[in-house]
Amino acid sequence: MCGIVGYVGRQKAAAIMLEGLKRLEYRGYDSAGLAVLQNNGLTLVKCIGRVAALAKLASGKKLTGTCGISHTRWATHGGVTDANAHPHVSSDGQIALVHNGVIENYVHMKRFLLEKGYTFKSETDTEVLANLIAYHYAKQPEPAVNGEGSRFLEAVRKTLLHVEGTYGIAVLSPAHPGELVAARKGSPLILGVGDHEHLIASDVSALVSRTQNVVYLKDGELVHVTPAGFTLSTLDLADVSPVIDQVTWSVDEAELGEHPHFMRKEIFEQPLALENAMRGRFSADGSSANFGGLNLTPADFRTIDRFVFTSCGTGWHACLVAEHLIERFARIPVEVDYASEFRYRNAPLDRDALFFVISQSGETIDTLAALREAKRKGYKCMAICNVVGSTIAREADGGIYQHAGPEIGVASTKAFTSQLLIAAMFALYVARMRDMSFADGVEYVAGLKAVPDLARRVLEQAPHIQQIALRYAKYNDFLFLGRLSLFPIALEGALKLKEISYIHAEGYPAAEMKHGPIALISDQCPSVFLVPKGELFNKVLSSMQEIKARKGLIIAIVPECLDLPEGLADEVITIPDCHEAALPVLATIPVQLLSYYIAVARGCDVDKPRNLAKSVTVE
């Protein structure tokens, strides 16, 4: 939700910020803007539309300044207009600011500022912050006790003491050329430490082309930045010793390469992401998994009588698969909750529950709030995260990194299947501490190790799935149906299709279909069936017959060892035979490809679907 890039150094800030914004565009893409300090003043360029529109507008200006801030917006307060685009400038022209988050008490502060004579041009909560900083700046003693830089910093600090809500901000002032102040509470912000230059950004993808050295700001921290250095402090004036981390991935990993869309690239990267999820995580005897990052001993695990998994969106579907696999193989009860519900419903938890959150980005505000709520109640909290150094990863007591590489497409693909595989490994890990035999463990491990190659075989069917997509792209309603571990994949298939193609789609357990959704069935509403092996195969065939009897169209995703009755499905996509724990991973790939090709056929912008943003950092 909103991307921020700030730069201070020796190079022209605008070009560097535009490159960074381009990489951050998946965070929000309804408008964009930048401000640079030059010619003893502030030059502001902003417009509705994508970063490309901003770049075009900026190319007509002479932007030579070496200190600037920039933003790509996902609207919260105020519609998508030029005036509401960031940066916002205080009415006295002293402060320019970009913001990611929501200022909850802005109405009260705005009233106060109007009384003091400040004026407003936008409908945003952010402009209030710019004016309030200007107000505190004007009130600071002059000259400042510790130099001009601290006067600027102090004005930001004093303002933030009054703010309720969430923010990641970057601020500049024409009175302080060569200085930036940035701060965070609830919205991610990272400092990039370069060679005689510093950058501020919402995530590392905007920085990696210039530096691999980063400082992850914590909530309540402010940083004052110049080309030569930076100082980190807290809102209550304590100095903070910075920890400089190294980003482990390169800028190439966030490039499209030969692919037309990041979503396609990331779907095809799944075999590698799956290999990376497993690398070094199986026990030497080949019968179990290892997770050093959980910081728990086998003895700790013996006392756990329940797992609680929470997440949002696609991650929540991964939680449902984790529930199925852990209960099936380890026989330990699992509770799954939407993070956004968990944080408010004051759920009673078992005394010896272990809490897990799943988040690709590690920044989703609802998931972070659920984690904090569980920690507040004294529970140990683990995180399954893709983004190293993210807020959730840092605040968890332990966890499992996915190592799936950067995921840029708004629709999560490789991060999801990597979460499924980690869930399968975790189920094995706890099952082997309970009743699973050595022989079953060895078979399970072999089954998981085969997954990357089996995923490659599913991907070979992309041209076949594309042809199906072309035939079905005209329909406006779809049902996705599955059972047991494939029910969450039905939910995921429906979510993928609606978020990138705007087609109405619903996921259901196949047997539930006859309790209501069957009313939707006609020759205009295709059903995608995820067909299981085993005892439920015949039950699912019956559900398919019920659809056929009502002239419904059927796309069946079927393990290749199964034979469907002739003519029952209109389209068949096969997946290789695999271990039961690997089935959700392999069954996901066809629904991803189907959604992708349907969205492309309908001319949708698959990487930047309307109204969405990759990382949801506001409530």
Q: Which of 72, 202, 361, 574 binds ligand M6R (CB under 6 A)?
A: 361
Pick the piece of the chain touching ligand M6R (CB under 6 A) from 43-51, 79-87, 126-134, 307-315.
307-315
CB closer to ligand M6R out of 156 and 365: 365
Instruction: Considering only residues 21 through 80, tell me which ones interact with ligand M6R, judged by CB under 6 A.
Output: none
- Tell me: does residue 360 bind ligand M6R (CB under 6 A): yes
Pick the piece of the chain touching ligand M6R (CB under 6 A) from 18-26, 77-85, 232-240, 354-362.
354-362
Q: Which of 350, 355, 352 is nearest to 336 (CA)?
A: 355
Q: Which of 412, 485, 588, 595 binds ligand M6R (CB under 6 A)?
A: 412
Residue 15, number of CB atoms within 10 A of its CB: 14
Could you list the active site residues?
2, 614
Tokens, residue 291? 């997770």
- Tell me: does residue 402 bind ligand M6R (CB under 6 A): no
- Tell me: does residue 315 bind ligand M6R (CB under 6 A): yes
For ligand M6R, the nearest residue by Cβ is: 313
Q: Is 65 helix (H, G, I), strand (E, B) or coil?
A: coil
Give one DSSP letter per residue of 198-241, joined into a string.
Answer: EEEESSGGGTTTT-SEEEEPPTTEEEEE-SS-EEEEETTS-B--
Distance of CA 194 to the CA centre of its chain: 26
Is the Cβ–Cβ distance between 254 and 342 less than 8 Å?
no
Is the Cβ–Cβ distance between 325 and 289 less than 8 Å?
no
Query: CB of residue 608 vs ligand M6R: minimum separation in angstroms?
Result: 11
Please name the residues in contact with 69: beta carbons below 8 A apart, sequence gap of 6 or more.
4, 5, 6, 17, 34, 35, 87, 96, 97, 98, 170, 171, 172, 180, 200
- Tell me: does residue 501 bind ligand M6R (CB under 6 A): no
Instruction: Considering only residues 366 through 395, tell me which ones interact with ligand M6R, judged by CB under 6 A.
Output: 367
Q: Which helix (H) or strand (E) holds 458?
A: helix 451-459
- Tell me: does residue 314 bind ligand M6R (CB under 6 A): yes
Residue 142, number of CB atoms within 10 A of its CB: 9
Pick the piece of the chain touching ligand M6R (CB under 6 A) from 174-182, 444-452, 599-607, 608-616.
608-616
Q: Which of 555, 578, 558 is nearest to 456 (CA)?
A: 578
CB closer to ligand M6R out of 361 and 588: 361
- Tell me: does residue 588 bind ligand M6R (CB under 6 A): no
Give one DSSP letter per residue of 157-208, joined into a string.
Answer: HHHHTT--B-EEEEEE-TTSTT-EEEEEEBS--EEEE-SS-EEEESSGGGTT
Tokens, residue 72? 């790509």
CB closer to ligand M6R out of 133 and 370: 370
CB closer to ligand M6R out of 43 and 360: 360
Query: CB of residue 416 vs ligand M6R: minimum separation in angstroms?
Result: 7
- The burial of 253, by beta-carbon neighbours within 10 Å (0-12 exposed, 13-18 middle, 19 or more buried), is given as middle
Q: Which of 2, 312, 528, 547 binds ligand M6R (CB under 6 A)?
A: 312
Query: CB of residue 313 vs ligand M6R: minimum separation in angstroms?
Result: 2
CB closer to ligand M6R out of 72 and 159: 72
Q: Which of 5, 204, 371, 411 binds ligand M6R (CB under 6 A)?
A: 411
CB closer to ligand M6R out of 287 and 340: 340
Q: Is 483 helix (H, G, I), strand (E, B) or coil?
A: coil
CB closer to ligand M6R out of 226 and 390: 390
Q: Which of 13, 214, 424, 616 binds ligand M6R (CB under 6 A)?
A: 616
Size of the site for ligand M6R (CB under 6 A): 16
Tokens, residue 331? 């026989």
Residues 326 and 273: their CA atoms lie apart, in Å, by 22
Q: Which residues bind ligand M6R (CB under 6 A)?
A: 312-315, 359-361, 364, 367, 410-412, 499, 612, 615-616
